[in-house]
Amino acid sequence: MAGIIIEHLKYKYPGTDRLALNDISLSIEEGEFVGIIGRNESGKSSLCQAVAGLIPSFYKGAYGGKVLIGDLEVKKVPVDELCETVGIVFQNPFNQVTGAKATVYEEIAFGLENMGIPKDEMISRIDGAMELLDISRYRDRYPFDLSGGQMQRMAIAGVIAMQPRVIILDEPTSQLDPQGRDEVFQAVQNLCSQGITIILVEHNMEKIAQYSNRVILLDDGRLIDFDSPQRIFSRGDLDQYGVEAPVYTQICKRLGHKMEDTGCYPVTLEEAKTVLRQRKGG
Amino acid sequence: MKTISLYVDKGTILNKIAPESKIWYVIAAISIPALMGIRWAGIGMIAVSAVLLLYGKVLRRTLPFLGVSGFVLLTVLIIQGMFWWGNETPLFALGPAVFYVEGLRYALGILINIINILMSFCVLILTTKPSDMMENFVRRGFSPRFGYVFISVFQIIPQMTDTMSTITDAQRSRGMETEGSLAVRIKAFIPLIVPVIMSSLINTKERALALEVRGFNSRKKKTFLNEEVKTAADRYIQIALPVLILAAAIWRITQWLA
Write the residue in B148, B214, B222 that is nearest to A116 by C-beta: B222
Tens digits of residue pLDDT in A48-102: 999 999 998 888 899 999 999 988 999 999 998 899 999 999 888 888 888 778 8
Q: Is the CB of A123 less than 8 angstroms away from the CB of B225?
A: yes
The confidence score (pLDDT) of residue B1 equals 43
The confidence score (pLDDT) of residue A21 equals 96
Write the residue in A100, A117, A119 that is nearest to B148 by C-beta: A100
- The alpha-carbon gap from B153 to the nearest alpha carbon of chain A, in Å, equals 10
Task: Work out how many CB contacts closer than 8 A connect A with B.
Answer: 109
Q: Is the CB of B155 less than 8 angstroms away from the CB of A98?
A: no
pLDDT beneath 70: ranges in chain B: 1-5, 151, 153-159
Centre a 10 Å sphere on the Cβ of residue B9 and count the other Cβ atoms it contains: 10
Interchain contact B169–A (C-beta under 8 A):
no
**Across residues A265-280, what is the average pLDDT?**
88
Q: Is the CB of A80 less than 8 angstroms away from the CB of B215?
A: yes
The confidence score (pLDDT) of residue B188 equals 80
Identify the closest residue of chain A to B133 by CA–CA distance.
A100
Residues 181-210 of B with CB under 8 A from A: 203, 206-210
- The alpha-carbon gap from B128 to the nearest alpha carbon of chain A, in Å, equals 12
Q: Residues of chain A with pLDDT > 90: what percent? A: 63
**Across residues A199-207, what is the average pLDDT?**
92
The confidence score (pLDDT) of residue A12 equals 95
Residues of B in contact with A119 (CB under 8 A): 223-225
- The alpha-carbon gap from B49 to the nearest alpha carbon of chain A, in Å, equals 26
Residues of A in contact with B228 (CB under 8 A): none
Write the residue in B155, B209, B217 that is nearest to A54 by C-beta: B209
Residues of A in contact with B137 (CB under 8 A): none
Residues of B in contact with A88 (CB under 8 A): 213
Alpha-carbon distance values, A257 to A232, A239, A280, B18, B233 (Å): 16, 20, 11, 70, 78
Tens digits of residue pLDDT in A208-261: 999 999 999 999 999 999 999 999 999 999 999 999 999 999 999 998 888 888
Give the least confident one: A150-159, A175-184, A230-239: A175-184
Preceding omega of A172 cis (within 30 degrees of 0): no
The confidence score (pLDDT) of residue A233 equals 95
The confidence score (pLDDT) of residue B248 equals 94
Write the residue in B212, B220, B226 that is nearest to A79 by C-beta: B212
Paired with A215 in beta bridges are: A35, A227
Tens digits of residue pLDDT in B128-147: 887 788 888 888 888 888 77
Q: A91, A98, A103: best mutation site toward chain B, by most B Cβ within 10 Å?
A: A98
Residues of B in contact with A110 (CB under 8 A): 214
ipTM of the complex: 0.83
Residues of B in contact with A115 (CB under 8 A): 215, 218, 220
Edge-first strand order for the sheet with A197-201 is: A86-89, A166-170, A197-201, A33-37, A214-219, A222-227
The confidence score (pLDDT) of residue A232 equals 95
Q: B146, B225, B226: best mutation site toward chain A, by most A Cβ within 10 Å?
A: B225
The confidence score (pLDDT) of residue B154 equals 60
Alpha-carbon distance values, B109 to A52, A98, A275, B33 (Å): 58, 42, 89, 11
- The alpha-carbon gap from A113 to the nearest alpha carbon of chain B, in Å, equals 5
Write the residue in A98, A114, A145 that is nearest to B218 by C-beta: A114
Residues of A in contact with B223 (CB under 8 A): 112-113, 116-119, 122
Interchain contact B131–A (C-beta under 8 A):
yes
Listed as own residue / partner, the contacts of A142-148 with beta carbons closer than 8 Å and 24 or more positions apart are A142/A102, A142/A103, A142/B3, A143/A97, A143/A99, A143/A101, A143/A103, A143/A104, A143/A107, A144/A94, A144/A97, A144/A99, A144/B1, A144/B2, A144/B3, A145/B2, A146/A104, A148/A93, A148/A94, A148/A175, A148/A176
Residues of B in contact with A79 (CB under 8 A): 212-213, 217
CB B241 within 8 A of CB B24: yes
Kindly list the domain boundaries of chain B, sorted by start residue. Answer: 13-128+229-257, 143-212
Kindly list the domain boundaries of chain A, sorted by start residue. Answer: 246-282
CB A266 within 8 A of CB A248: yes
Interchain contact B1–A (C-beta under 8 A):
yes
pLDDT surpassing 70 at residue A116:
yes
Interchain contact B216–A (C-beta under 8 A):
yes
